[in-house]
Amino acid sequence: MNGTVEHEAPRDPGHGPVDFRILGPVEVHDARTGERAVPSGAKQSALLGALAARPGQVLAVDRLVDELWGEAPPASPANALQAHVARLRRLLPGDGGPGWITTRPPGYLLRLGRATTDAQRFHRLAAEGRAAAAEEPALAVTVLRRALALWRGPALEGSVRGALCAAEADRLEEQRLTALEVLYEASLRSGPAEPVVFELERLTAEHPVRERFHDLLMVALCRAGRPTEALGAYERACRRLADGLGVGPGPALRSRMEAILHRAPLSATELSVPPAALGADAALLDLGSEVARLRSRIDVLTRQQEELLHRLHLLTGGPTLV
């Protein structure tokens, strides 16, 4: 059998009997036995990662070949892909191993059934945390920490070979950072500031051009009675933005700095973007919405293309997949 199977005690009662994990290195955890199946090699990992990133969606052979081999496919790419699918089926847990990956022209899909993915559970918990943040910030902190605890490393670590996994890893990372922003805003709404200062300092160093982390750090330092250090954090943010993007701070960060200079109280209700910045930030939100709309449209068109290929395959009798 390719890949490895290790033993691990079940830790997350929220997942199903089998859990496909992509929030870190790709693996499959069987809660019934405690076994953890890990693909061997980058191509096996990329194949499982692509299928688990789009459960229930048919991924065309051409798309999977591109994901595994890029611009240097083997001489018989469909046969080579079939061999990888067969090995992956043998690796997956239980008697239903071969049934997890279903052949459906023009490609393959992963059927979850009662199984789950850690990405699905992260999305659910993150949405619950965001919904609770304004009215129940302490609850939001608890839920968001549960969501973020699902991450074991960079999304799809070791599987990012092609466009599908790369795009999914970027999307998941953006959602993780957004969840962190909501978490620390909720933390500042519900408790003392000092405990989160160190964590926000670490985040601003790890993500030097993400302005919201700098903004939250400035608020935390002010709340902790350290306004001079908050202004120092603003100066660091300016340098990092100039070095990383060649731009100055946006209106939200500038407004926060001006509020600190004027010794304006930073109450819990003022953790959101300062009013002076709303006009410019609305334009940024519009841009983000347009990007999300276009990405959604691309996904729809991709699925439609794959459905048309399936119909063409049935009409013309294309090569048989196994």
Identify the pLDDT of residue 261.
Answer: 86
Cβ-based neighbour number of residue 94 at 10 Å: 14
Q: How far apart are CA 282 and CA 279, in angstroms?
A: 5
> Residue 321: its pLDDT value, please?
57
Of 174, 98, 177, 106, the C-alpha closest to 144 is 177
Q: What is the pLDDT at residue 8?
A: 39
- The pTM of the full predicted model, rounded to 2 decimals, is 0.79
Task: Please tell me whether residue 17 adopts helix, strand or coil conformation.
Answer: coil
Q: How far apart are CA 81 and CA 150, in angstroms?
A: 30
pLDDT at 34: 86
Strands lying side by side in the sheet with 59-60: 59-60, 107-110, 101-104
Q: Quote the CA–CA distance of 271 and 232 in Å, as a whole number.
A: 19
- For residue 313, the model assigns a pLDDT of 58
pLDDT at 126: 97
Collapsed DSSP state (helix, strand, coil) of residue 138: helix
Which amino acid belongs to residue 178? Answer: T
* Degrees, nearest 5: CA angle 48-53-58: 80
Q: Are 146 and 128 in contact (CB under 8 A)?
A: no
Tens digits of pLDDT across the chain (322 residues): 345 433 333 344 455 689 999 999 999 998 888 888 999 889 999 999 999 999 999 999 999 999 999 888 899 999 999 999 999 999 988 654 457 999 988 999 999 988 999 999 999 999 999 999 989 999 999 999 999 999 999 999 988 778 999 999 999 999 999 999 999 999 999 999 999 999 999 999 999 999 999 999 999 999 899 999 999 999 999 999 999 999 999 999 999 999 888 876 554 445 654 433 334 344 433 444 444 455 555 655 665 566 666 566 556 655 555 5
